[in-house]
A and B are shown apart, each in its own frame.
Chain A
């Protein structure tokens, strides 16, 4: 399977730490997509959340349409589209439209969602998210005319997010791809993939693409990369982890020590360093089966900063990564 490397995540957030105008961010989307394509990346990934002060994009398929129109080969994807929070009929309508308009370049990474407020805002119960995810995936498969043993040739590629056995089974038995969390070590990826392949075989199907969205930063001096990026990303994650996550049954900000330990785990999953360090970690993941990479470089950093990193990644890391034969 050809390894694909894309960039992410576009969320168009105007945070307290990186304020910006929503009109300007959306106005820049088309040019940024062209830039990502011109650098040779395979994809551009869009995130989703709802009802948050910073305007986190709530409709990634709509935003991805801009990128698709501005480019001709770049794939556009969602990581993740929170399928249980949406009406699957609407998801089918929107995804089918963009898949057709883009000439078949849409990737749909679906996640369960974890914020009670998002479910409650549209009249749903979070405890039913698994059932809603199953129902949504089945509706989409039926809509796109998938057979029991394969995927419809003209349907968007679907990857299911998560690591739990239920998530792996959900994807594998339907012949869908997986979108694995970046916290996994290479050995854990290999185990997850082996389980998925076994389940898929039991259902007379095969697993789709195996993706991972990973925070990445690159500098000639690895220590400079770590000094610049890790604190910024910790702050970026801590804001919504503290506000949204329930840690041991309590809001994250109310348990600061536990929150910091969560941030330590997030930082450990980041791939930050010089060319050799970054390449080695990504190649390790490719060798155990990750074949769709979303390199997350676009969080609370200026465009000038991330475009330099993107250019360096494209030139000095991606060719080696793509040469890996899993």
Chain B
């Protein structure tokens, strides 16, 4: 049996090596994507462009504006005087936010009757950034308030310290770098797309060309065929993953905190699950074009959107959460994050391994059943 598997594997490898463009894509582009990804992708919002309409123009209002501009949160790109300009600024995207200080700002503060309201108008199109900018606005105002209060108390001779100070600590990722969180998802995306597409196409191509008939009449069993065909892709996938991890280390200082052995097995299980999906697609497709379309929509889009890669699964409605089970990347990413970012052991994510195996069995079984049905029909 091993002999026949080796024969198929060697044939696949030879075919693959002959295809220089594929080799290029399979090896170079994962790292290329990582680079783009790592540098471009960033939820950290800094230097938010802000425009200021100061209707008060007193030393206190100027102090407030200065406080905001000196923080790294905001960058004041324009100060203006006509209220009509506000709409122009936001519509044209000249600034992401506008700060409007009311006319009697200073006077009202010293009157000490009620809280004084100022307006922050934000470009809400990008909800996530707007949320963060909202937090910044709150934080900036509170810093100012704190200063106001302590100065006022000091002048009045009362000792009144700010009662509660928050001391935040960020575990696993002290600098809150977004890159490290996205790396497992990136690996998942690259692997699943590569494996699902190449496996489904490779099998469908043989079906189209009719060479599958030749294989059917040989003494090769289905399992041997599948394993033999997969071996080159599995090897390449491992190499791809290794390269992505190495590049992440070199460029972004991402270190695998957990066990490499667990990492290896997790990737291996994921490859099996993806392969099962690829086989299923090849069974239900009659042509390469169909196989490719299904493979793309079934692998790339769910892996990007439903897997927890970018958008957290916890925030999704329950129905959608259930549907995230159509992509094995979902389980893979959880396990990978646990290993790479948190450095915890198998006890934390063993369920993901089980899910991956169940996924693989389900699709392999489905493929076998449908395949037999099709052969009977033909």
On whether the two chains bind one another, the answer is no
A residues near B (Cβ < 8 Å) are: none
